[in-house]
């Protein structure tokens, strides 16, 4: 599967990214072993990366895992470009930056990613940009001084900027998939969607959630699920249930 091509025709399992949001490499390894046949990709975010570091990423990439490195880089363009090169060297399949870091930052990240992948002769990982966090609503945006009018307006603006700056796609809540598709018509533009909750699960701190089937129907290429799987007494079964719900779509 090419990440930067269209994800159509890809199985539901390949579209499920499990967020390994746990504290230690030991816990993450247990989850990876239990879930490796039930999901297409594993997300390493700031908690696990801070505790277990790049060694854990290398370990599971070495074991054949596809990894989404979710560190949401947001810094000066030079630093983000350098960090992007390191993401390529780690062998991840997907990584992200905050679109709010601006066009130049994203452009430099995209150039560095392509350049480093070519230099090493490896597949270029997908570079995606976070538009507005799924835990953020209009009130929280306004608190930070972003008077976009609505979350949707801000998502549209940042999705267009990400596309124009050479990113391969965006991270967006399931409710913003349609506006993103409407704002960026490019075929193959990836939409990765957290804030997905199976029918029976709790919403936790996510403010804009949808079911797995709803997110796929809305046009998500990948869905990210963390707590609804990790907190289940039987994570493999919970993951299979999410895949089954995706297949319904």
Q: Which of 80, 130, 167, 242 binds ligand C5P (CB under 6 A)?
A: 130
Q: Cβ-count burial of 221 within 10 angstroms (0-12 exposed, 13-18 middle, 19+ buried)?
A: buried
In the three-class reduction of DSSP (H, G, I as helix; E, B as strand; rest coil), residue 192 is classed as strand
Residue 106 or 224: the one with the smaller Cβ distance to ligand C5P is 224
CA 177/CA 218 separation, integer angstroms: 6
Nearest approach in angstroms of CB 228 to ligand C5P is 6
| Contact status, residue 74 vs residue 97, Cβ threshold 8 Å | yes
Residue 65 or 116: the one with the smaller Cβ distance to ligand C5P is 65
State the number of CA atoms in the 13 A half-sphere of 111 facing the CB: 11
Q: How many residues bind ligand C5P (CB under 6 A)?
A: 17
Q: Is 69 in the site for ligand C5P (CB under 6 A)?
A: no
**Please, what is the end-to-end C-alpha distance for the chain in angstroms?**
20
Catalytic entry in 15, 43, 72, 124: 72
Q: Which of 225, 238, 239, 246 binds ligand C5P (CB under 6 A)?
A: 225
Q: Is 154 in the site for ligand C5P (CB under 6 A)?
A: no
Q: Which of 154, 165, 206, 240 binds ligand C5P (CB under 6 A)?
A: 206
Q: Is 141 in the site for ligand C5P (CB under 6 A)?
A: no
Helix pair 235-248, 25-35: axis angle to 10 deg: 50
- Catalytic annotation on 43? no
Q: Is 204 in the site for ligand C5P (CB under 6 A)?
A: yes
Encoded one letter per residue, x for contact with ligand C5P by CB under 6 A and - for no contact, window 2-21 reads -----------------x-x
CA 222/CA 192 separation, integer angstroms: 5
Residue 40 or 116: the one with the smaller Cβ distance to ligand C5P is 40
Tokens of 43: 């997300």
Helix pair 103-120, 151-164: axis angle to 10 deg: 40
> How remote is the C-alpha of 162 from its chain's centroid?
14
Encoded one letter per residue, x for contact with ligand C5P by CB under 6 A and - for no contact, window 36-55 reads ---------x----------
* Binding positions for ligand C5P, rule: CB under 6 A: 19, 21, 45, 70, 130, 133-134, 171, 194-195, 204, 206, 224-228
- Residues taking part in catalysis: 72
């Amino acid at each position: 599967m090419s990440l930067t091509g269209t994800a159509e025709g890809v199985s539901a399992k390949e579209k499920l990214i499990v967020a390994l949001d746990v504290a230690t490499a030991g816990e993450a390894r247990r989850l990876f072993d239990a879930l490796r046949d039930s999901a297409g990709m594993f997300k390493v975010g700031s908690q696990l990366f801070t505790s277990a570091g790049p060694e854990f990423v290398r370990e599971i990439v070495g074991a054949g895992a596809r990894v989404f490195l979710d560190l949401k880089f947001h810094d000066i363009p030079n630093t983000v470009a350098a960090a992007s090169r390191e993401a390529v060297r780690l062998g991840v399949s997907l990584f992200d930056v905050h679109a709010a870091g601006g066009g130049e930052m994203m452009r430099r990240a995209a150039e560095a990613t392509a350049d480093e992948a070519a230099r090493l002769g490896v597949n270029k990982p997908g570079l995606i940009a976070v538009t507005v966090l799924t835990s953020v609503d209009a009130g929280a945006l306004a608190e930070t001084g972003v008077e976009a009018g609505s979350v949707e307006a801000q998502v549209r603006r940042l999705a267009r900027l990400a596309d124009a700056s050479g990113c391969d796609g965006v991270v967006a809540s399931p409710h913003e998939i349609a506006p993103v598709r409407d704002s960026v018509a490019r075929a193959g533009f990836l939409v990765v969607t957290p804030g997905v909750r199976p029918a029976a699960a709790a919403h936790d701190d996510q403010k804009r959630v949808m079911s797995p089937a709803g997110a796929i129907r809305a046009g998500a290429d990948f869905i990210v699920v963390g707590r609804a799987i990790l907190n289940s007494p039987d994570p493999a079964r919970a993951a299979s249930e999410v895949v089954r719900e995706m297949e319904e779509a």
